[in-house]
Structure 1
């Protein structure tokens, strides 16, 4: 009981500071952070969720916390899930953790930053970076745990009251007999003053440090379950079954009338925002007196919320009864029909000079002013209201190009002019409009028109246009008009003549989707179906920037230069960002490859499929934001926000080691036995905002001379390392951010075989020398004896010499036979060196030879060639759940099934681990996709019941067609990217690299 003596009362309850409830609420809100940035609307946060389908052991998330090393920990009824941003690792009951049961109720940090974990059967453990420690269980469900300033632990139980475990391990017990309102304790709070706040099943109680054996019930708090407690300064927030209350200076009252009947189950303070989880009404947020709500209808997995947590990157994590949910800022914000747009399928976006944003969709026209979205009704002039293009005139009017109703001019809130086929347009499908002072250019699906007050001129292929389908128009300062068509680009000179640009050397480019002038480099960017084309105004030269310089795909729709002259480009597969200096370096030949960032759904877009083929599908707003028309709303990004994401440097950890394909215990100073010809290290940057975009670099000290850039790949593999001492160093960074200040590292030693040791060879050399000396001495003595007998045995010696000659001839014959046998064994060994011992398939070495041979043949004969990379889904779980021997049987069955489905000319090999590779010569991408689908279905039919009941197998496949890449590693990279996309999209599927 020495802890009782050491406590001192550090607070006083001043009765003369009694204030009105409204003033308490105002003090709570204003004291949080008066200088904080305005809160983002709940609807603007990017939402993500994880369930058991994503690796969680259970969908009820009881508690969330983040350890000092950066991992996110999630408490469920089936164990702790450790999250590194990409996957979950399960920590359940057992000798490793010391938990008596997998059910975990709460996770909190202690005074030293270690995690305190409590749960079913009274399990109570502490996890630090050095390991796990556990205490004797209490045989009752523990709901909460907090550590006080003296190193003791307060433990809340479900039905047995409150426990206090002192630093020496002894325990005290408090129940209703000692004054607890209820023996059910839901929540605990130890404040800086040493007070212990107890949220029970029948109200709130407190233990003051000056009377540590007395429990005081707090008046004015209803006698209902208190699920959550939170402190800010001298205020205690109390989340109850019947509303949110606050205690301050001895007084308690309801925080806000709107919260009077809200069943509050979790609390979180962030800047000037109060976040509230409820038992059945979703997520609430109170900001400056404004209450917002997010429910299942808004994206929550479930309306029952059990926990809230803010991580070090300021993301909000929500533990629900239906999985783990996260709200975070993302580079992109998307407005959809749910937010008020006329339609989700948007084709054109215009940044108006008045600061508004106009959005044309397949279902009408919208205008965004600030946070307000209004729909502009053009139904009287356009039956379908399907908008293709938008363009602003000098006086602020807007031309609206439609799909079926021509071009409409909007001025002062109404349509004042309509251009269509009946009054001179070549077609009613208007994809490009360019207003000038003396008229307006109208690009249609059947040619080009120039409309003035007095006349309408038409231009077609007979005038020099390469095609009639017009998608983009741009007039340069010198008066020339650039025309983007479905057959290339034409330029109308100031004298009216039209000449087509020569696209013959541009990798087969035809469609020109958009134009973007770049005054800084004195060129015009053209987005085409084969990449990015630069037109140099100085000499009319064309430069193609496509796949050959590193672009991931061909078709680019619209390019926008941001305020820093970086280029943002829309496509069917996301938004590309190219840096200004890198673009200039590639154009000048000083750099060989374009470096890009690709943004998609994980970055805030509702759909990575942007739209193009109209003017304009992207635009730069006055505030520097870049807007894109997509198949699911209009998305915008503030380029400057990327720097904010990059300011956080994710910690990095080395998570695993595989030696010759088998898992090894990872620890400092690990000693690896001789014969380790393949080491694979897995590492993770513990950043959760953009985990897929984290970049890695590694250096194996003792082997690598410098850092090796790994891109976004979080593994490093080394083969045939010589024996010796090594250190692997790993660093991580977000794009445009700095590298880890504290690198992860692991030291290890590879032992040599006995015959690789220096002392072994020294001993061998000494033995050879001694034998040689002994033989010389013996020979010398023999010669002396032979000399004495020589004269007496000349004839006899002659006969023996003849016999010896015959014997040598026989030996020579035996030697020839032995050499022949050795050659045969060498050939057999060479053949075995190209086969995988487990599956009998060609191995990686044989496959690399076949790949080089088939690529050369395909390029020489101009025949198609496809490469397929396959990966058995969740194979690690097969090894972990059944055994590695069962995993080997699965590998052999899958290998046999793949071989059965292949043709005689196909090459199937074991790529490594659970991966297989398949070469399909004389096969185009469509046929290859059919073959892959047949293989995928055949693997699903494999019957494993004979040796692993309940085991079902599936594979993911990535297909790429050879496009003449040199080196052919790029073919491997594209196939691997397709395989990665297949696994990210749900596994058990075939994805094609386009």
Structure 2
């Protein structure tokens, strides 16, 4: 859409000011106006990028910009000369490498051979050649700029010491006000094609004629004001001054244009008949086709003070400001936002109408983009929030509009003519998909699917076969099949009305179906899901998943569009993917294992890489072939054919660094690496600045690699354990879809062998080994004879020793048997002690737990009664408190003896802990146990304790529980303990029986 290109404005250029609205009506006949050819792109349409010290620049004031023959971009600042490869900045300051006396660099120019000339603080003047840096003695004054002439000399402008001329042999001559200069402050210089030297000073313009180099003439037709910039354009010289742009021609000099009369011009550049102007405080100006445009800090410039302008080989315009490095370039994508007139920035749906317009549904209303511009369509009478979710064109050109809260609206002839909502039959007012058909319209809502006919509304939900009620996409094939995309998969409604869900079980867990795109060339229906791209074969219903399994970088894909070249564009939360047709077909047929993709985002002109999905439709193909995408920051579109223009640029490539075993090695024409260089890391860079992140690389290490190795976008190559020998690394670069670098970057190197890797070493080693083997054999024979004699003697000695040892072992075995028997007896005693309470001699808690488990199991198995008694000495703490713990211990012994006396042989009596005891009565019911317990209680109550402590009387409380066959004997303990608690609660010195379980 060329008409869109002519008026579109990228949101990054927020301010687009037309200076002097009457400029178009002003005659330009009095000046050599830049040719009025329409530029390819408006100033406001350029994609903007900027770099500051946060990105690696040493200083934010960019004094000068240039590009060397090898492709590097060079930036001059007050803190050094900076080299930029598109990804990283490398700072070169003062020192032996450059020869600069100070880090401050004021200007970068080219000499007649294409080498870089650099001037700056303290009179530093150096030249960068292919072989290195050449520097001349410093002039001890700030040099503002340098200009070479045809004789091999250099003109140098200084800040306060006038003008210098350095001859080819290095001799210098100085010009000051005494020689006719208007001022000793020289800001700018120009050597024109005629050999004239133009001098922009602090008090006007001066001139030195080529045939009269000893005399300086003042150009009186130019005001005596600071001249900051000089540029030859055709036969004219453009003069940028503190108060306007002037031009000089043989016919005279004067103001270039009235619109630029008071503009403080600091930098000039002409490219493709377009005049670019930098100002000291008013930003960037551009004059093209009679139209003056301005870009300021409000429109994205880092700073309104412009110090330098440069256009690189890829036609990017670089701007040096006081706030950093700034670039304007064309980008594949263009974005329209609310600043350009959209109703809102959050776009959910986009429709390419048959009349050539583009309809854009946003969260704040509906917009239509036409040749005349962007207009907003007022839906407020029917939709209070005007939040649009979906857009679809009807057969007659009317547009169905799905809203978030107000149902579906039919726009025809400039107004809403019909509204469908919950009140008149829709399942919900949230409408994400609409599909007009011959006999009605399908409406997909958040609660299910409706079909609206002329006189009825039918409902299709999960009861009718939908996998989920949340509808996001609809598509009807030519054979009548209706494809329904939901939050739980895809369902197909056949022409007979039957509905069946597709089996997504083998598709990596895919659930959400965001969009459908027919592909007639392959007889496919593409389905974008939350697990990748699904190919549905319309002929046989076969499903193929293209996701992470074939190399896609993420899962969730929203909407696919087949462009006019049959390539596939897909929106996602993380940018827009482009898949080429031949690769896509090859992966589908199994000819290739991986999908190759391009991913576009913010660096490609999108204001946000987050595209939106879940509404119909989230992307569209316009009549002119442009592909439009709904994003969270406006609607973005791309003309696929423009990619060929970007791919036409072939970036030069350089090898930047080599690290050997982790240490950086200086690059030389023929490198010789020492033995042991077993890890080599090469870093290289494609010197392209339009899409540096997507530059593709390939390399070949001649002597190791049989062919080129594709590196993708990785700009490093690593080799380990290379054998000694001669090698050559070749590197090439290309933009996606573009050609490879013809002049490859190359570096040759040799890895030296260790001494033990040389031929003479192995020959000497072989001879030494042979001689050693002979000597060893002879020595070995002699040793064997001696050894035979020694062995015979040793056998006799060993025989005697073995007999003695056998006798000794027999005696030791007898002694060991006695010791083992003794240990066994001790172990049994220890085992018994471990199971007895040391104080009372009763079984301890451990022994009682084992007996309890054993008896419960036996009672459960033999169906025999079993009773557990827990008893506690009443007020035992008072005994310890009144007497002492020794008396308490005697009480415990006395009670233990009395319990044991009244229990049977099969009963188990144990000290449960503290003053508590436990009695386990096998083959005993609770009633029988009560009698036994009563005897024990009375015996203790009547016991004479005077021997223990005078006046001491004892009573006990007892809890009885009969085993009820519980699977866990802990329950028996719990019930017995509960009965004991009840006995204490009811006054102590008594017996309570727990109820059966």
TM-score bracket, shorter-length normalisation:
0.7 to 0.9
* 1:594 aligned partner: 595
Partner of 2:341: 340
Q: Displacement of 1:209 after TM fit?
A: 1.1
Task: Report the equivalent of 1:166.
Answer: 167
CA distance in structure 2 between the partners assigned to 1:450 and 1:255 by the alignment: 68
Specify the alignment match of 1:912 in structure 2. Answer: none
- Corresponding residue number in structure 2 for 1:532: 533
Which shifted more, 761-770 or 137-146?
761-770
For the pair 1:203 / 2:218, whether they are aligned, the reply is no
Correspondence for 2:41? 40
* Structure-2 separation of matches of 1:216 and 1:631: 61
- Secondary structure of the residue aligned to 2:549 is helix
SS at 2:320's partner residue?
strand
Separation in structure 1 between the aligned mates of residue 104 and residue 563 of structure 2, nearest angstrom: 51
For residue 181 of structure 1, report the CA deviation from its aligned partner: 1.2
**Equivalence map 1:903-942=2 (5 Å):** none
**Cα offset for 1:220?**
2.7
Whole-angstrom distance in 2 between the partners of 1:142 and 1:704: 50
User: After superposition, what is the alpha-carbon deviation per residue over 1:15-51, rounded to whole angstroms, capped at 9, x for unaligned?
Assistant: xxxxxx9555664322xx84xx633122211111100
Quote the residue 1:442 is aligned against.
443
Secondary structure of the equivalent of 2:491? strand
After superposition, residues 840-855 of structure 1 pair within 5 angstroms as none
1:87 aligned residue: 88
Tell me the alpha carbon deviations over residues 334-378 of structure 1, each in whole angstroms, 9 at most, x when there is no partner: 111122211111101111111111111111111112372222221
Provide closer, same or farther for how the CA distance between residues 67 and 25 of structure 1 changes in structure 2, counting only shifts above 3 A: farther
- TM-superposed CA distance for 1:771, in Å, is 5.5
Please give the alpha-carbon distance, in whole angstroms, between the structure 2 residues aligned to 1:505 and 1:382.
Answer: 42
C-alpha deviation, 1:550, in angstroms: 1.0
Q: Partner of 1:363 in structure 2? A: 364
Match of 1:803 in 2: 790
Structure 1 stretch displaced more, 487-496 or 570-579: 487-496
TM-score (norm 2): 0.75
Cα distance between partner residues in 2 of 1:799 and 1:352:
107
Residue equivalent to 1:789: none
- Superposed CA RMSD in Å reads 2.1
CA distance in 2, matches of 1:651, 1:371: 42
Match of residue 697 from structure 1 = 698
- Cα distance in 1 for residues equivalent to 2:203 and 2:367: 53
Q: Give the C-alpha shift of residue 546 in structure 1.
A: 1.1
Provide the C-alpha distance between the structure 2 equivalents of 1:44 and 1:194, rounded to a whole number of angstroms: 39
C-alpha contact (below 8 Å) 1:39/1:287 kept by paired residues? no
Instruction: Say if 2:240 is the partner of 1:232.
Output: no
Q: CA deviation at 1:219?
A: 2.6
Q: 1:804 to 1:328 in 2, by over 3 A?
A: same
Deviation at 1:618, TM superposition (A): 0.3
Deviation string for 1:587-632 (max 9, x for gaps)?
A: 1111111111111111111111100000000000111100000011
TM-score (norm 1): 0.76
- The secondary structure found in structure 2 opposite 1:745 is strand
Give the equivalent residue in structure 1 for 2:58.
57
2:156 matches 1:155? yes
- The equivalences for 1:788-937 within 5 A come to 802-803=789-790
Instruction: Say which SS state the counterpart of residue 144 (structure 1) adopts.
Output: strand
Deviations 1:702-758 (A, max 9, x none): 111111111100000111111111111111111011111011111111111111111
* Range with bigger deviation, 604-613 or 252-261: 252-261
Counterpart in the other structure of 1:29:
34
**Distance 1:803-1:122 versus aligned 2 partners, 3 A rule:** same
Contact 1:62–1:306, Cα closer than 8 Å, also in 2: yes
Q: Structure 2: give runs of 5+ residues left out of the alignment.
A: 1-25, 798-997
The answer to whether the aligner puts 1:624 opposite 2:625 as a matched pair is yes
Relative to 1, partners in 2 of residues 1:415 and 1:168: Cα closer, same or farther, differing over 3 Å?
same
Report if the CA contact (8 A) 2:28-2:257 is conserved.
Answer: no
Please give the per-residue CA displacement for 1:203-222, whole angstroms capped at 9, x wherever unaligned.
11111112222212223322
Q: Counterpart of 2:582 in 1: which secondary structure?
A: helix
How do residues 380-529 of structure 1 correspond to structure 2 at under 5 angstroms?
A: 380-529=381-530
Whether contact under 8 Å (1:316, 1:327) holds in the other structure is yes
Where structure 1 has 5 or more consecutive residues not aligned to the other structure, the ranges are 1-20, 787-796, 811-994
Deviation per residue, 1:267-320 (Å, 9 max, x gap): 111113111111111111111111111111111111111000000000000000
Whether the 8 Å contact between 1:560 and 1:569 is mirrored in structure 2 is: yes
Q: Distance in 1 between matches of 2:787 and 2:53?
A: 88
Supply the distance in 2 between the matched residues of 1:590 and 1:302 (Cα, whole angstroms). 54
Cα gap change, 1:345/1:768 in structure 2, threshold over 3 Å: closer, same or farther?
Answer: same
Q: What per-residue deviation string (whole Å, max 9, x for no partner) do you get for residues 46-92 of structure 1?
A: 11110001000000000000000000000000001100000000110
Q: Check whether the contact 2:31–2:256 (CA below 8 A) recurs between aligned residues.
A: no
Aligned to 2:290: 289
Kept in 1, the 8 Å contact 2:674–2:752? The answer is: yes
Q: Give the distance between the partners of 1:51 and 1:767, measured in 2 at CA.
A: 67
Helix, strand or coil for the counterpart of 1:38?
Answer: coil
Q: Tell me if the contact between 1:39 and 1:273 (Cα under 8 Å) persists in the aligned partners.
A: no
- What's 1:329 paired with? 330
Distance 1:44 1:799, change over 3 A: closer
Distance 1:119 1:38 in 2: 35
Q: Is contact 2:411–2:417 with CA below 8 Å preserved after alignment?
A: yes
* SS of aligned partner of 2:33: helix
Deviation at residue 775 of structure 1 after TM alignment: 7.8
Match of 1:314 in 2: 315
> How is 1:262-277 mapped onto 2 (pairs within 5 angstroms)?
262-277=263-278
Higher-Rg structure is 2
Contact 1:156 1:162 in 2 (8 A): yes
In structure 2, the residue matched to 1:722 is 723
Contact 1:219–1:252 (Cα < 8 Å) also in 2: no
For residues 258 and 527 of structure 1, what CA distance do their matches in structure 2 show? 54
Whether the 8 Å contact between 1:67 and 1:73 is mirrored in structure 2 is: yes
